[in-house]
């Protein structure tokens, strides 16, 4: 997550402040971004 923008960092901090350990908060945001990208790609194919 070396190239994280401010909104991505905000998402990580949000999950961390909700009680998720830092490593899991980072992983959750990464997975959420991957899923979002795949959904966008599928919509563009149709």
For the stretch 1-46, pLDDT in tens is 557 799 999 999 999 999 999 999 999 999 999 999 999 999 998 7
pLDDT at position 16: 99
Record the tokens describing residue 11, joined without a space. 């998402």
pLDDT at position 1: 53
Q: Catalogue the long-range contacts made by 27-35 (C-beta closer than 8 Å, 24 or more residues apart).
A: 29/1, 30/1, 33/8
pTM here is 0.81
Locate the domains of the chain by residue range.
Answer: 6-45
pLDDT at position 37: 95
pLDDT at position 2: 57
Tell the burial category of 27 from Cβ atoms under 10 Å away from its Cβ (0-12, 13-18, 19+): middle
pLDDT at position 39: 96
């Amino acid at each position: 997550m070396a190239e994280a923008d401010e909104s991505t960092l905000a998402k990580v901090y949000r999950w961390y402040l909700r009680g998720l350990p830092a490593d899991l908060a980072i992983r959750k945001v990464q997975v959420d971004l991957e899923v979002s990208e795949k959904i966008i790609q599928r919509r563009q194919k149709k």
